[in-house]
Structure 1
Amino acid sequence: MARRERWVLVSTLALLQAATIATGVYAVRTDFSLAALSKQEPRPTKQPVARPSVPLVTAGPVLATGGDGPLPPKGTLTRQLTDALGDKALGSRVGAVVLDAATGQRVFADNPDTGLTPASTTKIVTGAVALAALGPDARLSTRVVQGRTKGSVVLVGGGDPMLAGPYAKQTTYPRPASMATLAARTAAKLKEQGVTRVTLGYDSTLYTGPSSGPGWKPSYIPDGHVAPVHALAMDEGRRHPARNQPRVSDPPQVAATAFAKLLARYGIGVANKTVRPAKAEAGAPELGRVDSPPVYALVEHALTYSDNDLSEALARQVAIKEGQPASFDGAAKATKQVLERLGAAQGVSVFDGSGLSTRNRISAGALAKLVAVAGAPNRPELHSVASGMPVAGFSGTLGNGRRFTARDSKGEVGLVRAKTGTLNNVNTLAGFATDAQGRLLTFAFMADKVPVNAEPVLDRLAAIVARS
């Protein structure tokens, strides 16, 4: 198949992904192989394997099996990547690794084992451990339970930051749980009991410790990059659902106050003018509940849009599942525990789930390996890491009109699927590419002493892998 025909094929697939996401519908496919298509061979026979209910979304070109073609010529790839790594825009500290996804063999390595600041490529780690620990089908629940005294109720945060407030437009994928739905269900249950007026409290004690992360800059919350991390929040702590700025200073209080108004809308008066914290009793009767989308969809969203709030929530949920405190420290310990079970802990040291922390260190070799683990055919529960990565030139943080637009990378639009990372003086890119022979490769390119902006060089490096 000619190169242009291959580009048209994969570009069409990526556009179809965008259309299905926009409508909130996914076509689930687990036998996709670009290599088989590009060589016009019959599709491989689908083997029965234990899978989660929605294991892998065919969301673009560089996803599944790979390994169908020969490895790229090592000398040529090494020469081209080495030349690109000499670009002064990358600064003085760079790590670069390319692996064969099927075997884990290193195809290229330059400073592969030095821990570098990963920025938002940390979300690859968070997504992988969340899927491994929680399972793809787990959900985060926000509940209302009866309080300790007659006529009192407690709104209990379950760690779902995407809970939609009363003014959120339900147009995104995945469709979030709705606070209005929770209020309607709670009101209906109370009316069944003959109750039309209550006192309301809120419980956000599921999470512990500081609400901002170690190594976070003081400006992150005021500038709207992330909200204070709490177990109860709506609209990811945004004062206006569609805007990052400003973030509210007390997400649980704001969410509970909004819930009180919604109860009134559904015919349940709230006696107390100010809604205050209240600890829910263990085993208290439940009056209403709404559940988040499944974890696989949350991971996809967090990776595609580099969602800091959702990533921190997923990290806390991993801590709870692993028996650690639901804090930044507990999440870091839990992440290490899960990575050790995956055989991917070496070279990874993280202090938060989003990558905002300047203390995080991940080597290029470790990051490229974890991408390969997440895409392995025998780990279907992790495949949402792959389907969540933006497609070059089409979606998420690679579809913003600034990436893969230069002459040395625009020819590979649609052929790279990767997670971006950006902090001051830090640019990283890690993901998948299917080379010209149909071989699935993983890569990690990291620079953390960047003078200004190295994104075009990272795009060029990924494009070299894709056309090798």
Structure 2
Amino acid sequence: MVVPELRPWRAAKPHVVRLADAVRPRLARAAAVTKPQLARLARAGKPQVAKVARPKTWQYTAGAATAGLALTAGVVTAAGPWDSSGQRTAERERAVALGRAGGTDHGSAPGAPGRTRPAPSAGPVLTGLGGVSTVKSAPDGKALADALRPLLRDPALGPRPAAAVMDVTTGRRLFGSGAGTGLTPASTTKIATAVAALSAMGPDHRLTTRAALEPDTKEVVLVGGGDPTLTARENAAGPASLRTLAARTAAALADRGVREVTLSYDTTLYAGDEKHPIGDNPNLALVSPLMADEGRTNDSASGPVERVEDPAADAARRFGKLLTSYGITTTAPGPSKATTRAETLAAVSSPPLSALVERMLTNSDNDIAEALARQTAIATGERADFAGAGQAIGSRLRELGLPLEGAAFKDGSGLDRADRLTPDLLTALLAKAADPSHPELRPALTGLPVAGFTGTLATRYSDGASGVVRAKTGTLSGVHTLAGTLVDEDGRLLAFAFMASGTDPGEPTASQQALDRIATALAACGCG
């Protein structure tokens, strides 16, 4: 097999080149394995040259490797710019117009949402769906069971792992083992949160933070709108920047001849307890509608880190310092509520919801997940607390006709061990996101980490289905889950969910590798 020459992309697509360079050795190895077998069969005069033995779970024929290239370099080409963490933006044209993307504030200009459309990478993500594939029959259920059941018996997956595999084209379950059993889903809960939020608000929805002036008291109120991507970092001056908001606010005050103000902040958008049921945890800040940089105490953009004690007060203090730097004297900020008479001085908006969903899924961002759960509650008329968010997620999924028996939603992130999802529900969520009649849900697929390349799967599948599997991971002590999509060896788009509870807390890597072996076997099955 000849590996496609990718040199012309180098100048314009450096991110494609990096992925192509990573994929090319795997293509070459696959070709090296396949070519001698073909040659031997040809010399022997055997007619079944095309029927080379199926690869083992860690081997791939040239066809499977080519599918991997299509789902990596192809997806990257379609998706446009990537930021420093490897995250694609959901809307290429907005990122290009903005001329920037990256880190905490990889946003785009507010306004002009345009018509609903899939993310640009949706086509390659759905390679095996509909008319793209020439395969006319779904994989055989018995063959799938023969391939997967032995791997599900791995002791690293605990006493009763559950699994489901669905043909996305037909919506038919091809394999199930405890598929209707509600288990702790860990971070695969974020798939449900993504679908519910996109369904309730649409992919173009943005979250707005504003500064308002009370006309009689010269009080400036920083009003939290629930944007978890708001940043106060010095090198960030984009649309979701607290620095930008301060500059605009100071200019508006100067136009009014105001140089001294009382500063306060408003967090009344959300209700109930700000602290997650798990308590203080480096994986999550207090759930507040006002925060800067997710309340992080260092310059990280993802992963666990110590958080500030009060994210809203911290954001208001930083806003006050920025106002001072622009010539406005402020008091120390305190909590308040903007009245209906308050005049908006300036506002900044988050990236579109499609981009927030993608970042949440790729990096397993718990702060974004809880924010989107609260926003779903607000959009559906529920109370904006943990209970109301759970009710809102469930009601939106029910309206989509998804199977909710055995499911329970206690938070948006999956950190709560009382959450329950079934493999059937997880695969149905993914299939619904692929449904051509629901393009607004497509970011729930395009945001899934790519095995061996992005997000929480960047360091996994080094000797497996790298570039072929796209999946959300889920990990708590003793809990490991994996749910996503892949195009199998016969070109069919499959959704899968594998869930394991009661695993050995001291051997998390073994459990993750066991799940990865199952997904790799599914990709290599060719069970048609």
TM superposition score category, shorter chain reference: 0.7 to 0.9
Deviation at residue 448 of structure 1 after TM alignment: 1.3
- Kindly, what percent of the aligned residue pairs are identical? 44
- 2:324 aligned residue (256, 260, 264): 264
Whether 1:285 aligns to 2:348 is no
CA contact (8 A) 1:393 1:414 kept: yes
Query: Deviations along 1:199-252, whole A, 9 cap, x unmatched?
Result: 1110011111111223x2x352xxx21001111100001122327422001001
Provide the C-alpha distance between the structure 2 equivalents of 1:209 and 1:106, rounded to a whole number of angstroms. 40
Higher helix proportion (structure 1 or 2): 2
Provide the C-alpha distance between the structure 1 equivalents of 2:235 and 2:181, rounded to a whole number of angstroms. 43
Three-state SS of the structure 2 residue aligned to 1:316 is helix
Aligned to 1:7: 68
Deviation at residue 191 of structure 1 after TM alignment: 0.9
Aligned to 2:517: 460
- Change in CA separation of 1:462 and 1:433 when aligned onto 2, cut-off 3 Å: same
1:120-139 paired onto structure 2 within 5 Å: 120-139=187-206
- Change in CA separation of 1:2 and 1:239 when aligned onto 2, cut-off 3 Å: closer
- Change in CA separation of 1:233 and 1:55 when aligned onto 2, cut-off 3 Å: same
Deviation at residue 119 of structure 1 after TM alignment: 0.2
Deviation at residue 300 of structure 1 after TM alignment: 0.5
Scaled by the length of structure 1, the TM-score of the pair is 0.87
Task: Give the structure with higher Rg (CA).
Answer: 2
Query: Deviations along 1:165-215, whole A, 9 cap, x unmatched?
Result: 133657xxxx7600000001111111111111111110011111111223x
Deviation at residue 267 of structure 1 after TM alignment: 1.4
After alignment, is 340-349 or 372-381 more displaced?
340-349
Aligned to 1:343: 401
Aligned to 1:415: 468
Deviation at residue 148 of structure 1 after TM alignment: 6.0
5+ unaligned residues in a row in structure 2: which ranges? 1-61, 94-113
Three-state SS of the structure 2 residue aligned to 1:348 is coil
- 2:356 aligned residue (295, 298, 319): 298
Provide the C-alpha distance between the structure 2 equivalents of 1:159 and 1:439, rounded to a whole number of angstroms. 39
Deviation at residue 253 of structure 1 after TM alignment: 0.5
Provide the C-alpha distance between the structure 1 equivalents of 2:223 and 2:452, rounded to a whole number of angstroms. 41
Provide the C-alpha distance between the structure 2 equivalents of 1:168 and 1:93, rounded to a whole number of angstroms. 49
Deviation at residue 26 of structure 1 after TM alignment: 6.2
Aligned to 1:360: 419
Amino acid at match of 1:192: D
Query: Deviations along 1:413-440, whole A, 9 cap, x unmatched?
Result: 1111110000000000001111111111
Provide the C-alpha distance between the structure 2 equivalents of 1:239 and 1:168, rounded to a whole number of angstroms. 16
Scaled by the length of structure 2, the TM-score of the pair is 0.78
Amino acid at match of 1:7: G
Whether 1:328 aligns to 2:386 is yes
Provide the C-alpha distance between the structure 2 equivalents of 1:348 and 1:168, rounded to a whole number of angstroms. 43
Deviation at residue 264 of structure 1 after TM alignment: 0.9
Aligned to 2:450: 391
Whether 1:382 aligns to 2:441 is yes
Aligned to 2:83: 22
Provide the C-alpha distance between the structure 1 equivalents of 2:189 and 2:216, rounded to a whole number of angstroms. 45
CA contact (8 A) 1:166 1:258 kept: no
Three-state SS of the structure 1 residue aligned to 2:393 is helix
Three-state SS of the structure 2 residue aligned to 1:22 is coil
Amino acid at match of 1:182: L
Higher RCO structure (Cα 8 Å, ≥6 apart): 1
Deviation at residue 294 of structure 1 after TM alignment: 0.5
Aligned length in residues: 430
After alignment, is 144-153 or 104-113 more displaced?
144-153
- Change in CA separation of 1:64 and 1:126 when aligned onto 2, cut-off 3 Å: farther
Deviation at residue 464 of structure 1 after TM alignment: 1.7
CA contact (8 A) 1:77 1:465 kept: yes
CA contact (8 A) 1:315 1:352 kept: yes
Deviation at residue 12 of structure 1 after TM alignment: 2.4
CA contact (8 A) 2:76 2:121 kept: no
CA contact (8 A) 2:225 2:269 kept: yes
After alignment, is 79-88 or 9-18 more displaced?
9-18
CA contact (8 A) 1:61 1:414 kept: no
1:83-232 paired onto structure 2 within 5 Å: 83-147=150-214, 149-167=216-234, 169=236, 177-214=240-277, 216=278, 218-220=279-281, 224-232=282-290
Aligned to 2:488: 435
Aligned to 1:248: 308
Amino acid at match of 1:458: L
Provide the C-alpha distance between the structure 2 equivalents of 1:176 and 1:238, rounded to a whole number of angstroms. 20
Three-state SS of the structure 1 residue aligned to 2:262 is strand
- Change in CA separation of 1:186 and 1:198 when aligned onto 2, cut-off 3 Å: same
